[in-house]
Amino acid sequence: QNYILEAERQLNENTIYKKIDFKEGILEDLARKSNNFFRYLRKKGKITDKELSYFTIEHKKTTNLGKFYLLPKIHKHLSNVPGRPIISNCGTPTEKVSEFLDDKLKPEMQKSWSFIKDTNDSISKINRIHSIPKDALLVTVDVVGLYPSIPHKAGLEALEWALNKRSCPDVATEDLIEMAEFVLSNNYFEFSDSVKQQISGTAMGTKFAPAFACLFMDQVETNFLRE
């Protein structure tokens, strides 16, 4: 009961999610749009026939709505436990496009100056700092609810900013931006007996979300330190 109440509390945030009257044919239409992206890339010679076959959604295969669930944050407290929202992207019409974007964005994410892969990478970078002033303040900053808080427009602008720094792009920036907008704008999912659409940010559970969020924060941090 508490799990459901926490989910409903989050899903009632109308700046992030909205309830929709889901119509038949939406998923099939989105699957066709996804396939069109990859046919276009094959026509331009950006992917191989084998890749086209992998990324194509078969029309006979049923595509799914995303599934909303929570990962309880028991490290916070053990009563009224908050939940980390996840929207499973498996089998949805945007899954293949998100996977393709993840492959193209990860290298750019890893080039960003503030990128930290994991704890060991963080420790290694700290060890490379030879001299820290005695009056220095070491701080950490956390963005509350980062993934759903990224405005689509600002997030896409950050992607464009990062992608335009590539010296030899294999896929045009405008094509990747269009694909990213497709994923962000069509995140339909179900919970309990209702269907909702995420209208802000991205969802943990879609493959390109970590790179999208990291590149957005890279631009935010770069602009902040420049000022």
Check whether 105 has a pLDDT greater than 70: yes
| Choice between 72 and 132, residue whose per-residue pLDDT is larger | 72
> Which residue's entry shows tokens 């631009």?
219
The predicted pLDDT at position 227 comes to: 67
pTM of the predicted model, to two decimals?
0.90
Q: In what order do the strands lie in the sheet with 66-72?
A: 17-19, 194-198, 188-191, 66-72, 83-88
pLDDT (0 to 100) of residue 60: 66
How far apart CA 104 and CA 107 sit, in angstroms, is 7
Residue 225: its pLDDT value, please? 83
* Per-residue model confidence as pLDDT tens digits over 39-66: 999 999 999 999 999 999 987 677 899 9
Question: Residue 66 and residue 22: Cα distance in Å, rounded?
Answer: 13
Q: What is the mean pLDDT of the chain?
A: 92
pLDDT, position 25: 87
CB atoms within 10 A of CB 41: 20
- Site of tokens 């700092």: 129
- First-to-last C-alpha distance (Å) of the chain: 47
Cα torsion at 64, 70, 71, 76 (round to 10°)?
A: 160
Render 190-226 in DSSP notation, one character per residue: EETTEEEEE-SS--BTBTTHHHHHHHHHHHHHHHHHH
Q: pLDDT at position 210, please?
A: 95
pLDDT digits (tens, 9 = 90+) for 121-154: 989 988 888 888 889 888 888 888 899 999 999 9
The percentage of residues in the chain with a pLDDT greater than 90, rounded to a whole number, is 74
pLDDT tens, residue by residue, 160-207: 999 999 998 999 999 999 999 999 999 999 998 899 999 999 999 999
State residue 186's pLDDT score.
Answer: 96
**Three-state DSSP state, 124:** helix
Which residue, 41, 29, 56, 50, is CA-closest to 104?
41
Spatial contact of 204 and 87, defined as CB atoms under 8 Å apart: yes
pLDDT above 90 (res 11): yes
Query: Range with the lowest mean pLDDT among 15-19, 25-29, 98-102, 127-131?
Result: 127-131
